[in-house]
Structure 1
Amino acid sequence: MLSASSRDRNKLRVPLALTALAVLASAATIVPATAAQASSVTDTWNEAAYRGHVEVVRGRDGSSDASVLTGTVFVDDDRDSVSDRNERGLAGVLVSNGRDVVTTDSRGRYRLPVYDNMTVFVTQPSGYQVPVDESNVAQFHYNHLPEGSPALRYGGIAPTGPLPAAVNFPLVRSHLTKSSEQHCVIAGDLQTYDKEEVEYARKGAIGDLSRRDDYRGCGTLFIGDVVGDDLSLYPDVKGLTSLTNGPARFLPGNHDLDFDARSAEHSFDTFRAQLAPAYYSYDVGDVHVVALNTVRYPCTPEVDNADGRRPQCNNPQTRPAYTGRLDDNQLAWLERDLAKVDRRKLVVVAGHIGLLNFADESSPIHQVAQVGQVYDLLKGRKAVAVAGHSHSIENMRTGDLVKGWRDVYGVERLPFPHITAGAIAGDWYSGALTADGYPVAVGRDGGRPGVLTLDVKGSSFQERYTVTGESDRVQTQLGVNSPTYRRWYAERDAWNDTREGTAPELGDPNVVDRADLAGRTWLTTNFWMGATGSTVSVRLDGDRPRPAVRTQPLRGEAQLAGPEWSDPHAVAQQLVNGGSVADRAMHLWRFELPADLAEGRHRAVVTATDSYGRQFTDTLHFRVVEQR
């Protein structure tokens, strides 16, 4: 979201054992399972990595024709980033100025029209790798802005001067990017607001990635909100990516803005200068990744509020704001880029603000205005959309629908899967610190911090969410939603507003009494990657498995929110330790406990099965008493 006030910055510095989390974690036991794919990493990435840069050839007076940029895409056999006479050009490679898309000729040459403030970039072809710098940041673009950015707090783009005589893009052959099997890490909302939070990320998800080596070909795509408004932290972010084991690429988010830019033309100049183009594409295996800039700032009334749905855009000079939109150049580029892509490839459409999401399903700001146009461009293709922004985990399948998508955008069903990738920051690094030194940061949907991986074979994929610090087998969290819990929820929520008197206490959340059972008590399962086609079953005290019911089936209904639809495991932490409140989720299942359940201890074994048939087992112990 736009401002720091939209997130809870009150990170409690208390031992985890003193929080409600410890009570719940001790009650819910994860059945031991196979270890995560993370392994002891050797120097294989450092040995394979091609370190270099784009070759910019300066003539004495620049280019002889200032209206056309020329250059070559070449195979850099000696890995010195310089196009030597004996190094061949590579034919059939896409190069773009952010509007036009051309294909290199038989000698690897290209010609592109020139306009001020353009970024020229190459689309990495499968079987080749673009250079990375010492921080593993992919190097594949050149910014052309002769006079440089207007005065901006964080510098923007320095004057580039006259058009170069040539911009040449070096590549090396790579078996890693040629393989039809790829593992693409999608990292949502790193969003560090200060150096302390940079350290949280290093100890958390970045530390996990440093111990994995399965993503060396596809790399990591950080899908926006790389930092939290302070763009001077970009060097610190590069310090984090230097610990990863693959190319690092970035997309801009609404917290990566040059907020002092007077027009959208320059709102991501510092991001472009230090990290990446605002949008681009690249290939690995049988995958074509389209990395979009879905944030427009400042939005304006004539462009963004013509339909009256975005009144926050009406005062761009006095009250600048952002919205979800692609500009005209980007839409033109997207159409031309896709027109040159083999229709048998899987297209991954990545953006910070999602084309559509569940958490903000009725908001015209936090989804993309031209979602219908993007769908038209992708018609008939295998595709998946991935996004961040909402700090939630959402696995939405083809055919899913919620009321807001229909009401705001006229969408009747999703034409392909959409996944909201969670956040490395989780709920903005809120809550108590774990024993490993980073905050619990449980999200607004009960999700935990982590990263998404697309495991690809050919043009098919399976999604995988890895919770920070956990095995890939940890995919669920269990809780008990009872009348006692729901009363406490309301009382504690009200107390948090006033802080008057003694704070209401929940007590042991896994104890229920007769009144609770008579008033409807559910065992809840938050299955983070659960989706349409997933199932959850419960074996109570060794009895036969019985199905749990998904609370939000995504069949056109409105979003359901409140204590009855909440994740009690998450809320018990959040209302005590700060952060958002998990009062809704599209991946929550619940099983009603029998009203005549005997007094004493009980054991519930929960099996969550995803749409690919993968099963995850979790166990909850709880106790029934006559009266509290």
Structure 2
Amino acid sequence: MLSSPRARAKVRLALALTALAAGSAAAIVPATAAVASPSSDAWNETAYRGQVEVVRTTDGPADPSVLTGTVFVDRDRDSVNDRNERGLRGVVVSNGRDVVTTDSRGRYRLPVYDNMTVFITQPSGYQVPVDASNIAQFHYNHLPEGSPELRYGGIEPTGPLPDAVNFPLVQSNPAKSQEQHCVIAGDLQPYNKTEVGYAREGAINDLAQRHDYQGCGTLFIGDVVGDDLSLYPDVKELTGLTNGPARFLPGNHDLDYDAETAEHSFDTFRAQLAPAYYSYDVGDVHVLALNTVRYPCTPDVDNADGRRPQCDDPAEKPAYNGRLGDDQLAWLERDLAKVGRDKLIVVASHISLLNWADEGSPIHNVDQVREVHDLLNGRKAVAVSGHSHSIENMKTGDLAQGWRDLFGVEGLPFPHITAGAISGDWYSGELTEDGYPVAVGRDGGMPGLLTLDVKGNSFKERYTVTGKDDEVQTQLGINSPAYREWYAARQAWNEDQQGEAPEPGDPNVVDREDLTGRTWLTTNFWMGSTGSTVKVKIDGDPEREATRTQELRGEDQLVGPEWSDPHAAAQQLLSDASLADRSMHLWRFELPADLAAGEHSAEVTATDSYGRRFTDELRFQVVEQR
């Protein structure tokens, strides 16, 4: 995430939250059934475990300016390129700049650079080996002298160029299937071992119960840890509990902050987890795992237009920026040139190509977003990202004012999805009975995981709230004048805590004055988007349509209590947490001013852009006077 307030203490919420938490009932109409396992075999019984084969001799390679090797089918699964094992033709291999394909015997040749990561693009129908922690093994770091002195170690000296680096593969039906379930895990981001435990009890436990993602696996899209890179072994223990290959891309909290140049800013990440960027194929999907964090950013590269002054003093005040390096951009173009135009392209990054929560910030979107859009012109694509700890389902054609102002974008050329966060609002708030914090996000979203359900080259996105069924997709609340008055008073008290704190009262009670002063029933539909609808039925009357607060037609963000998620904001104002004072997936329905005194029920049906329906219910009371 952009700037996590880690100085905050974990504040236990008051008992008043019990009433708030009861404000929204669980959904009662399932939209999608739980996905069955594609195989009766447990992942641990079938996973291909091994490593990249690095071959060295005393003589060394004949030409130290060229790296050679073979991509081979590892029939006996020992990670050694035996004589009777065939090489695989047409596999893409890269050094992070150049991109080549293997010949008829599986051989490749690549130019050598002093600091490079060599990796293959896993071809569809094959699986690269995974280690004991389920982490995909498909790359080799070449850094002869090792990293400069870094707090967390970086890359140890690799020595002279090996004679060969060979990449083993096995055939895999799950990785070949036209049906894939690709888990996108945003911002795990533990800052200590306690928070590692929260992740284990929460989203990781959910993944341990699922068996639908063996082919595509889980992609952790940055901020794998929260600045303390010594926690990577703890993260590996977590991925060891999952049921598919685990892959990672870097975020701004995975940095070697003591690196003096961007060349070495992710050395520890590269040593422990993965290349800084790479690609892989499953089924008809090509995943581009990008590094969109440049640190330290510099005035000549990052602030040439004057919009990023935080980049002007990298020596004394180092900062990061959302940007692709020149080598990566060249690699991206070359990689895509090898990809069939019938493939679905998943562009994964930490900092979003474009996001809504920070749509007006040049550092929290990617400088070269238009170049990336141009490279994908005419292709079927979707972008997925993390960083903002928000859930955003943005469709083709959507537009925010900041995207136009900063980058000249006049509408999204393909969907962009911000995947939420496992850590939610940095593991803040009270603990649930299952042992992890509520952590309600800045948009009122809940911690969880995104899944892309793919058939061929088409997909549908779904969001699974931590510890909940897939049917739970909405959160209801009441935004009344009384709530808005309390919001302002409590916000002021939080800034200057004098006297008694204003109390929120019962969130599900409104009086006649509230109704005549505009009171809305709000629906926070986490995967709601353009093309979604929300309809409300009061006391069994004919249903009527609610209005989306942000239409994403080029308008600026609407911010403040009137545009907030009251169910979320009322909890957040009672603790040291973010504030859901805006959202791009909030709908509201004005309650009739003539509702009779007494108990009432609101039944809400939220329908997503694919026609999947979810229902939720809120019971509330009307009184003549408080």
- Structure 2 vs 1, CA of residues 289 and 77 (structure 1 numbering), >3 Å: closer, same or farther? same
Q: Which amino acid aligns with 2:25?
A: T
**Structure 1: tracts of 5 or more residues without a match:** none
Match of 1:240, as an amino acid? L
- Residue-by-residue CA offset, 1:507-534 (whole Å, 9 max, x unaligned): 1011011111111000000000000000
| SS at 1:365 equivalent | helix
The equivalences for 1:360-379 within 5 A come to 360-379=358-377
The answer to whether residue 620 in structure 2 is matched with residue 622 in structure 1 is yes
Please tell me whether the aligned partners of residues 8 and 579 of structure 1 are also in contact (alpha carbons under 8 angstroms): no
CA distance in 1, matches of 2:3, 2:230: 17
- Secondary structure in 2 matching 1:210: helix
- Residue aligned with 2:541, SS: coil
Deviation at 1:595, TM superposition (A): 1.0
**Where in structure 2 are the equivalents of 1:471-550 lying within 5 Å?**
471-550=469-548
How far is 1:22 from its partner?
Answer: 2.1
Give the Å deviation of 1:36.
Answer: 5.9
Offset of residue 497 of structure 1:
1.1
Matching of residues 75-86 of structure 1 within 5 Å: 75-86=73-84
Asked if structure 1 preserves the Cα contact closer than 8 Å seen for 2:4 and 2:426, the reply is: no
Q: Which letter maps to 1:29?
A: A
Report whether the alignment pairs 1:586 with 2:547: no
Match of 2:391 in 1: 393
Aligned to 2:9: 10
Q: Is the 8 A contact 1:38 1:208 kept in 2?
A: no
**1:204 and 2:202 correspond:** yes
2:171 pairs, out of 159, 170, 173, with 173
Q: Give the alignment partner of residue 30 of structure 1, picking from 26, 44, 61.
A: 26
Report if the CA contact (8 A) 1:574-1:581 is conserved.
Answer: yes
Structure 1 residue 48, shift from structure 2 partner = 2.0
Aligned length: 624
For 1:81-160, list aligned pairs within 5 A.
81-160=79-158
Q: What is the one-letter code of the residue matched to 2:470?
A: D
Residue 189 of structure 1 contacts residue 222 of structure 1 at CA under 8 Å; is this kept in 2? yes
| Aligned residues of 1:362 and 1:404 also touching (Cα < 8 A) | yes
Q: Secondary structure at the match of 2:238?
A: helix
Q: Deviations over 1:480-513 (max 9, x none)?
A: 0000000100110111111211110011011011
Q: More displaced, 439-448 or 575-584? A: 575-584
Matches within 5 A, 1:310-321: 310-321=308-319
Tell me, yes or no, if the aligned pair for 2:208 and 2:241 is still in contact at 8 Å: yes
Residue equivalent to 2:413 = 415
1:287 aligns with one of 280, 285, 288: 285
Q: Verify the 8 A CA contact 2:2 2:388 in the aligned structure 1.
A: no
Contact persistence 1:513–1:624 (CA under 8 A):
yes
Deviations 1:330-355 (A, max 9, x none): 00000000001000000000000000
Matches within 5 A, 1:407-446: 407-446=405-444
SS at match of 2:268: helix
Q: For 2:479, give the aligned amino acid.
A: N
Give the secondary-structure state (helix, strand or coil) at the position aligned to 1:235. Answer: helix
The residue number in structure 2 matching 1:297 is 295
Could you tell me how far 1:13 is from its partner in structure 2? 4.1
Report if the CA contact (8 A) 1:19-1:573 is conserved: no
Code of the residue aligned with 1:468 in structure 2: it is T
Q: Give the corresponding residue for 2:350.
A: 352
In structure 2, distance between residues paired with 1:354 and 1:192: 21
The residue type paired with residue 505 of structure 1 is E
**Alpha-carbon contact 2:20-2:571 (below 8 Å) kept:** no
The equivalent of 1:447 in structure 2 is 445
Counterpart-to-counterpart distance in 1, 2:194 and 2:161: 41
Deviation at 1:596, TM superposition (A): 1.1
Report how far residue 2 of structure 1 moved: 5.1
Task: Give the partner amino acid of 1:37.
Answer: A
Choose the corresponding residue for 1:216, options 197, 214, 217: 214
Matched-pair contact (CA < 8 Å) for 1:287–1:347:
yes
- SS for the counterpart of 1:102 is strand
Instruction: Supply the distance in 2 between the matched residues of 1:414 and 1:440 (Cα, whole angstroms).
Output: 32
Distance 1:2 1:571 in 2: 21
**Is residue 12–residue 575 contact of structure 2 (8 Å, CA) maintained in 1?**
no
Q: For 1:190-209, what per-residue CA distance to the aligned partner results, in whole angstroms no more than 9, with x for missing partners?
A: 00000000000000000000
Where 2:180 maps in the other structure, the secondary structure is strand
Whether the 8 Å CA contact 1:39–1:211 is kept in 2: the answer is: no
Q: 2:320 aligns with which of 322, 328, 350?
A: 322
Instruction: Give the unaligned 5+ runs of structure 2.
Output: none
- Structure 2 length as normaliser, TM-score? 0.98
Separation (CA, whole Å) in 2 of partners of 1:442 and 1:348: 27
**Length-normalised TM-score, structure 1:** 0.98
Q: What CA distance in whole angstroms lies between the structure 1 residues aligned with 2:577 and 2:521?
A: 24
Tell me, yes or no, if the aligned pair for 1:479 and 1:567 is still in contact at 8 Å: yes
Q: Quote how far apart the aligned CAs of 1:92 are.
A: 0.4
Q: 3-state SS of the aligned residue for 1:169?
A: strand
> Which of 245, 248, 254 is equivalent to 2:246?
248
SS in 2 for 1:30: coil
Tell me the CA shift for residue 31 of structure 1: 4.2
Partner Cα distance (1:576, 1:170) in 2: 54
How far apart, in 2, do the equivalents of 1:94 and 1:606 lie? 49
C-alpha RMSD of matched pairs (Å) = 1.3
Q: Distance in 2 between matches of 1:164 and 1:397?
A: 47
